[in-house]
Amino acid sequence: MATSSDILYSVRNLTVEYETRHGVVKGVDDVSLDIRRGEILGLVGESGSGKSTLGKAMMRLRNGSARITSGELWFDGQNLMELSERQMRDLRGSRLGMVFQDPMTSLNPVQRIVEHLTETMLTHEPEWTEEEARARAEELVERLGIRRERVKDYPHQMSGGMRQRVMIALALALNCDLVIADEPTTSLDVIVEAKFLDLLKELRDEFNLTILLITHNIGVVAEVADRVAVMYAAKLVEIGDVNQVFEKPLHPYTEGLLKSVPNIELDSGALYKMEGSPPDLSSPPPGCRFHPRCPYMMEEVCPIYDPPFAPPEGASEDTRVACWLHHPHPQKVAIGA
Amino acid sequence: MNLPVQDQETAVPQWEEELARVGFVRRLLRARKWYGADWWFVAISSVMVLAFIVVALFPQWFAPYGPHEQVGPRFLAPGETPDLPLLIVRADSGLSTLEDLATGPDDEVSRPPIAVLRGAPTAGALREQAALLDDELQESDSGLRLRPNIRRYDTVEEVLQAVQEGEAFAAVLSSVQYEEAAGQFPDLDAPSDISGGVASAGDFLLGTNQIGQDVYSRLIWGTRVALIIGFSASLVALFLGVPLGLVAGYAGGKIDRVMTVFMDSLYAFPGLILAIAITAVLGPSILNVIIAIAVLYIPTYYRIVRGQTLSVKQEVYVEAARSIGAKPSTILRRYIYPNVIPSVSIIFSVNIADAIITGAGLSFLGLGLPPSTADWGIDIARGQEFIQTAWWLVTFPGLAIMLVVLAFTMLGEGLTEILNPKLRDR
Amino acid sequence: MSPLALIFLIIGIPALIGLAYIFVRGSAGLRRYILTRIGLLIPMVFILASLVFFVMRVLPGDPVRSSLGPKGSAETVARMREQLGLDDPLIVQYGRFLGDIVTLDFGNSLTGGRRPIIDEMSERFPATLELVIPAAGLALLIGIVGGTLAAARRKRPFDYALRLYSVVIYSIPVFWLGLIFQLVFGVRLGWTPIAGRIDPVIATTLERTTNILWLDAIITGNWAALWSSLSHLVLPVVTLGLILSGVFLRLTRVNVIETLQMEYIGAARARGIRERIVVGSHALKNAIIPVITLLGLQVAILLAGAVLTETVFSWPGMGQYLVQRISSRDYTAVQSVITMFAMLVALISLAVDIVYSLVDPRVRY
Ligand SMILES: Nc1ncnc2c1ncn2[C@@H]1O[C@H](COP(=O)(O)OP(=O)(O)O)[C@@H](O)[C@H]1O
Ligand SMILES: [Mg+2]
């Protein structure tokens, strides 16, 4: 079990609400999550399950009408919720970095690559000179496999893979401790994606990075992540070691996800397709949110009681799951008492 | 290897899909429910527009006078009661106008005594008016003459006293002076002013202009010209621009390119200057103004319709690959009109506003409309000369232009908000 | 040297040098873009000039008859028609007209001193520039600052106030605003003169070279003339600038709002960039690009507004010249002025596009 000093970032009971015309939508609902120093934690879930909302909230970035309504964000011993906006801004880009899904749209089209880098550096390290920043920018870009001269280019002159490496460079510019990468490879083709993931692993060792890798692609997680967290309808349903989760998923949703991945070895023709579709977050189903789609649904428990997100009976603290299959049923508890 | 992606982040919200499928009217009605478009903008501006249309259709209901009637003294400030020289007689004398004082050869008094206040301008007015009437009488060969014997007194009371006691047949005093003293002389009456008008008639809300026309009445009548120009010019432009845009977008190729270069040039050219040239050549008439302005707005319709047609054409090609080839008329009805009508209605509204401003600019420059037309631009141009003394002459017609244009601009703005949710700020 | 030639020296030469510099230093794509754009200039001028010719000649109405009025005998009419070449076939006239444009020789005016029209225009052109350039600057300033602030304070009272302002100002006829300003600041408050470019008495002491009066006053150190010309300039410039500012305000506001939704704005915030810089630099720089494109189209409004403003303020520029010549039915002059306006529009739109290609690195044709 990880000791507290191993934990770099800890999300505790975080709830994020969106104000919409159809009422309040909880994009993230009572989520708790620990990220350990130096690990790559994969966060998977379908689109709309709240992954980006969680990632942005972890940096306390405003996203539309989103508001953090409760919870604590502990980063390296300090509660981010208690920091002023100014202090928060100082952390962003210097200790907390973010890489977005679409590198095409996440770089300023009228700013040269080098300007992106130097601007970030000089914002956080005002005493650096322009030349120092520029030199460091070139060095960094070169380390990431982009020719030095290309820093003078504009974003539109670069390929998707190069732009995504620039985004990483921006997070490395000041040696961020934690990089939140929100679907960084979704818009890249498969070969570029593989190279990028390799690079990510290398950088993690070289720069002592901790990475929260958000993706809806289980293959990506399998390839690079140390641990994996599964999100469904604004809640975490399972977290654990990658190998363990992939071998023996505890939550029926995780199981469904894994079964729906084309498996070359088996190649048994028809691909598994999960029943139903994710719930509308403005009125999520009561009890376990997955129960309407769950093949193991237990009539007397699942639609009524919300399962706790806790280690299953008899398992180690490292694994957690939110499913009544692995927790004592509330009725039984009540009868036993 | 990807997860089933049911709810793409890029997915079009359902209302947006539905929106594309319904007609113009339903779109208007559902806008609020679907994306909370602000209704009040359209509501307020439609009420304003309707009000202006009613005024333009029935100006006689609102205007106390005709547009060309010279009904009062000149340069009367707004709200000021006209200080007319009144004819004051004994109530039992049977006299009611200055003309009644005319005398024939048989009358014992050939020059009727009329009392005035010493030093007051009314005496001069009386002399002028009497001379005028005298000339008319002489010309009409009635044998009557009007040659008053003007007697001057030092105070208003003395003047009135003289009439009361029969010393004078009548008196002429300004209405203000008479009203102050009238209470003391119940036997006297002021049946008319010396020009024969009914004394109490003048209530000029916005004052009068340099030739004694009622500013308010001309304002009301001017609505008609403004709206005629606005509507007609926009309609003409619409009926030319929409088909041209359809043709260009549909035909494509060389025709399209030539027409587009031409329309773009026209679009870039300062509209008013072109309109100036056209009206200068065609000469002043409302029809020519409409033509000149309509030409300016053809490109606005052309561009939007052409663009829509082009994009629809692409979609239709995709669809045609799967289904039977649709006839052009079907394509027009099913695909192009529903897409184009919202934009065209917005442009129509905004163009009316523009046309009204441009038309007013033309008439301000003395081009376009015949100079006596009851038109706001003309009124402003004529009032400019007197800006130092009579501020109301330019102020009110300008406010009228502003209100009408504002109504149509706001309508366009409101329609944009409702019909084109993608255009409005997200 | 005529003022026109001087103006050309002041504006044209640096512009040409700049263009040459861009041309030599810029990428091949940029070069090709500029060349294409200059290539497009010629058909545009051609079409506009032809339009003017068409309107003036082919529409019903006889310019000679109307310029001589009812007094003109058949003989004088015939003589004048011949003099002006109006009896030639239309196509010949058209060719001559296009030739005149290329040589900038518009013939002599029909009225007054029968001076060459190009000379008359070259006296008036600087006055129009003197009015139009600061007005456009003022409009841009109000529009960009106001629009950005409104976008940053979206849906708050400040934003609503500015939106209201832009709709209302759009609905005000420019000539009326000018008159109201005259009324308030000239007549009532007596702060500014209400008409003309300069006090006529002071004008006699001013030696003119560029015919941009404040510039001439500075060159010759004539401070009284400088003060007088600036005080005459205020009302017309503010009038025209305010009318135009509404459009820029709307454009800037909408574009900044749209840009603020972009992902790179979120990304910049995620890097800890200060909000002031995110809005004022990242968002504004991107938002300004479409505004510049539309600047080209606003030139039409600017020039049309200038005609009316000049008329209101008795400002002896091209617009007033146009209106005067129309009332004296001098069709040669009218045709020339309008052609001149057309060329101006085409040139400015070229300039705008080139600036656009410099500001937006994505333009690569
Ligand atoms: N700007 C927004 N306004 C309102 N609701 C939003 C917004 N962004 C996201 N949401 C809601 O939050 C939920 C989670 O979204 P998101 O975090 O983007 O999911 P993911 O990144 O997993 O695809 C979505 O289902 C959506 O309903
Ligand atoms: Mg996402």
pLDDT for B217-257, tens place per residue? 888 899 999 999 999 999 999 999 998 988 888 777 888 88
Are residues C126 and C219 located together in one domain of the fold? yes
Angle at which helix C117-152 crosses helix C284-312, to 10 degrees, equals 140
The rounded distance, in Å, linking the Cα atoms of B318 and B398 is 53
Q: What share of chain B in percent tops pLDDT 70?
A: 81
Same domain, B399 and B353: yes
The enclosing domain of B180 has a CATH number of 3.40.190.10
Could you tell me what percentage of chain B is helix, strand and coil, using 3-state DSSP and rounding each to the nearest 5?
A: 60, 10, 30
CATH of the domain at B354: 1.10.3720.10
Q: Please list the residues that pair with A35 across neighbouring strands.
A: A9
Q: What is the pLDDT of residue C138?
A: 94
Closest ligand 1 atom to residue A20 Cα is 4
DSSP summary character for residue A156: G
B4 — pLDDT class (breaks 50, 70, 90): very low
Query: Which segments of chain C have a pLDDT < 50?
Result: 364-365
Q: Is A53 in the pocket of ligand 1 (CB under 6 A)?
A: yes
Whether residues C319 and C352 share a domain: the answer is no
C285 with A98: Cβ contact below 8 A:
no
Tell whether B396 is covered by a domain.
Answer: yes
Residues B336 and B376 reside in one and the same domain: yes
CB C297 within 8 A of CB C136: no
pLDDT at residue number A192: 85
For residue A61, give the ligand nearest its CA: 1
In a domain, B395, yes or no: yes
Measured between CB atoms, does A21 come within 8 Å of chain B?
Answer: yes
Classify residue C46 as exposed, middle or buried by CB count within 10 Å of its CB (0-12, 13-18, 19+). middle
CB of A254 closer than 6 A to ligand 1? Answer: no
SS3 (DSSP) at B103: strand
Minimum CA distance residue for ligand 1 atom 2:
A64
Nearest to B3 among A21, A46, A262 (CB): A46
Instruction: Indicate if the pLDDT at residue B200 is higher than 60.
Output: no
Q: Are residues B166 and B252 in the same domain?
A: no
Q: How many CB atoms lie within 10 A of CB B8?
A: 9
Q: What is the pLDDT of residue B14?
A: 58
> Residue of the nearest CA to atom 16 in ligand 1?
A50
Give the three-class secondary structure for A300: coil
C269 Cα: distance to centroid of ligand 2 (angstroms): 17
What number of C-beta contacts closer than 8 Å exist between B and C?
153
For B7, the closest of A47, A257, A260 (CB atoms) is A47
Residue B96 counted as domain residue: yes
pLDDT reported for residue C72: 65
Name, of B3-17, B85-99, B370-384, the range with top average pLDDT: B370-384
Q: Pick out chain A residues at pLDDT < 50.
A: 1, 264, 266, 334-337
Query: Tokens in use for A15?
Result: 């709830």
Residue B92: other Cβ atoms inside 10 A: 8
Shortest CA gap A52–chain B (Å): 11
- Shared domain for C158 and C188, answered yes or no, is yes
Residue B132, Cβ neighbours under 10 Å: how many? 14
CA dist C85 to C53, C81, C96, C181, Å?
14, 6, 9, 46
Percent of residues, chain B, with pLDDT higher than 90:
14
A92 touches chain C (CB under 8 A): yes
Residues B411 and B338 in one domain: yes
B400 lies in the same domain as B267: yes
For the CA atoms of chain A, what is the radius of gyration?
A: 21
Q: How distant is the Cα of A89 from the closest Cα of chain C, in angstroms? A: 5
Please check whether residue A40 touches B, CB under 8 A: no
Looking at the fold, whether C180 and C271 belong to one and the same domain comes out as yes
Cross-strand pairs, B189: B89
Q: In whole angstroms, what is the distance from residue B4 CA to residue A256 CA? A: 11
Residue predicted with more confidence, B240 or B168: B240
Instruction: Give, for ligand 1, the residue of A18, A182, A183 to mutate: max count of ligand atoms closer than 8 Å to Cβ.
Output: A18
Compute the nearest-CA separation of C245 from chain A (Å). 25
pLDDT over threshold 60, residue B184: yes
pLDDT for the residue B43? 83
Low-confidence winner among B29-33, B60-64, C103-107 (lowest mean pLDDT): B29-33
Task: Tell me, yes or no, whether B350 and B241 share the same domain.
Answer: yes
Please state the φ and ψ torsions of residue C108, each to the nearest 5 degrees.
Answer: -100, 155
- Boundary residue ending a domain (B162, B193, B224): B193
Query: What backbone phi and psi angles, to 5 degrees, belong to A143?
Result: -55, -35
Ligand 1 atom, smallest distance to A234 CA: 14
Nearest to A94 among C272, C282, C361 (CB): C272
Q: What is the pLDDT of residue C145?
A: 92
Start-to-end C-alpha separation, chain B: 34
CATH of residue C181: 1.10.3720
* Closest ligand relative to A54 C-alpha: 1
- The residue whose CA is least distant from atom 21 of ligand 1 is A52
| Residue B252, amino acid | G
Residue B113: give the domain boundaries: 85-193
**SS3 state of residue A9:** strand
Which residue in chain C is spatially nearest to A93 when comparing CA positions?
C271
Token representation of residue C173: 């006829």
pLDDT digits (tens, 9 = 90+) for B312-371: 777 666 565 445 556 667 766 777 777 777 788 888 888 999 999 999 999 998 888 888
Does the predicted model carry a pTM greater than 0.90?
A: no
Distance, in Å, from the CA atom of A8 to the CA atom of C140, rounded to the nearest integer, reads 50
**Which ligand 1 atom is at minimum distance from the Cα of A182?**
21
Contact in structure between B30 and B22 (CB atoms under 8 Å): yes
Q: Are B272 and C346 an interchain contact pair (Cβ–Cβ within 8 Å)?
A: no
Six-digit token pair at A171?
Answer: 């997070």
Tokens of residue A274, six digits: 């999960």
CA-nearest residue for atom 6, ligand 1, is A18
For chain B, the chains sharing at least 3 beta-carbon pairs closer than 8 angstroms are: A, C
Q: Is A94 in the pocket of ligand 1 (CB under 6 A)?
A: no
Domain annotation covers residue B10: no
- A63 to chain C: nearest residue by CA? C266
Nearest to B413 by CA among B356, B350, B344, B351: B350
How many helices and strands in chain B, by DSSP H and E?
A: 15, 5
Q: From the CA of B29, how many Å to the nearest CA of chain A?
A: 18
Q: Which residues of B287-307 are buried (b: 16+ CB within 10 A; e: fewer)?
A: ebbbbbbbbbbbbbbbbbbbe
What long-range pairs does B308-316 form, CB within 8 A, spacing at least 24?
B308/B249, B308/B336, B308/B339, B308/B340, B308/B343, B309/B245, B309/B246, B309/B248, B309/B249, B309/B250, B309/B336, B309/B340, B310/B249, B310/B252, B312/B336, B312/B339, B313/B249, B313/B250, B313/B252
Predicted pLDDT at B11? 44
Helix residue ranges per DSSP H, C26-156:
28-53, 63-68, 74-84, 90-103, 117-152
What residues pair up with A213 in beta bridges, in sequence order? A42, A181
Question: Phi, psi (5° rounding) for residue A49?
Answer: -85, -5
**Residues A169, A207: Cα–Cα separation, whole Å:** 11
Residue A55 CB–ligand 1 contact under 6 Å: no
Any domain includes B200? no
Q: Is A32 on the interface with C (CB under 8 A)?
A: no
Q: Is the CB of A184 under 6 A from ligand 1?
A: no
Is C117 strand, coil or helix? Answer: helix
Cβ–Cβ below 8 Å for B9 and A273: no
Are C304 and C258 in a shared domain?
yes
Q: Tell me if chain C has a CB within 8 Å of the CB of A105.
A: yes
Phi-psi region of A287 (alpha: psi -120 to 50; beta: other; left: phi over 0): left
User: With a 6 A CB cut-off, is A215 part of the ligand 1 pocket?
Assistant: no
Residue A46: which of B1, B4, B35 has the nearest Cβ? B4
Q: Are residues B6 and A219, on separate chains, in Cβ contact within 8 Å?
A: no
First to last CA, chain A: 31
What lies within 8 Å, CB to CB, of A233 at 6+ separation is A29, A49, A50, A278, A279, A281, A284, A289, A290
Q: Are residues B160 and B287 in the same domain?
A: no
Token digits of residue C281: 């630099």
Q: Is residue C11 part of a domain?
A: no
If one counts the domains in chain C, the total is 2
- The residue range of the domain holding C309 is 118-327
Q: How many domains does chain B have?
A: 2
Instruction: Tell me how far apart the alpha carbons of residues B386 and C183 are, in angstroms, rounded to a whole number.
Output: 10
Q: Which of A93, A106, A154 sits opposite C272 (nearest CB)?
A: A93
| Inter-chain touch B3–A273, beta carbons under 8 Å | no
Q: Which residues pair with B145 in a beta bridge?
A: B103
**Bridge partner list, A68:** A16
Those residues whose C-beta lies under 8 Å from the C-beta of residue B149, and which sit 6 or more positions away, are B111, B112, B113, B114
